[in-house]
Amino acid sequence: MCRLVVSLWLLFVTSSVFANAPTVLVLGDSLSAGYGLRDGEGWVVLLQKQAQQQKKNWQIVNSSISGDTTGNGLLRLPAALATHQPQIVIIELGGNDGLRGTPPAAIQKNLTELVRMAQRAGANVFVMEMRLPYNYGKKYVEAFAANYRTVAEKEKAQVIPFFLADVALQKDLMQADGIHPNAKAQPLMMRAVWNALKW
| Catalytically active residues, by annotation | 30, 177, 180
Contact between residue 144 and residue 99 where contact means Cβ atoms under 8 Å apart? no
Interatomic CA distance for residues 185 and 168, integer angstroms: 9
Q: What residues contact 152, with CB distance under 8 A and at least 6 apart?
A: 115, 127, 158, 159
Q: What residues contact 14, with CB distance under 8 A and at least 6 apart?
A: none
Residues recorded for the chain? 199
Helix intervals (H) in the chain: 2-20, 30-33, 43-53, 70-84, 95-99, 104-120, 138-155, 186-197
